[in-house]
Amino acid sequence: MFGLAVPIAMLGGLIGLGGAEFRLPVLAGPLGYSTRAAVPLNLAVSITTIAASLAIRSRSLSLTPVAPFTPAVLALITGAVVAAVAGTALFARLSDARLEQTILVLLLVIGIALIVEGFLPQTERALLPGMVNV
């Protein structure tokens, strides 16, 4: 499992994601978890990853540049919580086959979006507008 976890973590960190998009197929595939068991396990690993990332980065990064975007951040958090509640209700109602199809479609859309983004021109090089890359 460690041999699969390290490349997934490196890939997720490289593109700025937690790796959940790459971890779920491994949990449901080579590691043999059912899709219904892999989803909450993947969520638990994601929460742990986010907590560790915040703890590690809090010593070297400042949230000051993000402060002007607080309303947008709070709106995104609110939307994510509402979507999580709705997703949990949907998760409980879906059959195993429909759940696997839904996950397949979502992962394909994410994969296509990542590929397309790689070919888009990078006109804004800063993390946030108005910031200068060093």
pLDDT one-digit tens code per residue, 4-33: 777 777 777 666 666 778 888 888 888 889
- The boundaries of the domain holding residue 8 are 2-61+94-119
Q: Tokens at residue 62, please?
A: 């400042």
Q: What was the pLDDT predicted at 129? A: 56
Q: Is residue 20 part of a domain?
A: yes
Q: What was the pLDDT predicted at 34? A: 92
Q: Is residue 27 part of a domain?
A: yes
Q: Is residue 35 part of a domain?
A: yes
Q: What was the pLDDT predicted at 71? A: 93
pLDDT tens, position by position, 62-93: 778 888 889 998 999 999 899 988 988 888 89
Query: What is the C-alpha radius of gyration for the chain, rounded to an integer number of angstroms?
Result: 17
Who contacts 13 (Cβ-Cβ below 8 Å, separation ≥6)?
19
Kindly indicate the confidence band of residue 125, based on its pLDDT and cuts at 50, 70 and 90: low
Q: Is residue 105 part of a domain?
A: yes
Which residue has tokens 């949230």?
63
Q: What was the pLDDT predicted at 46? A: 82
Q: Report how many domains make up the chain.
A: 1
33 φ, ψ (degrees, to nearest 5): -75, 145
Q: Is residue 85 part of a domain?
A: no
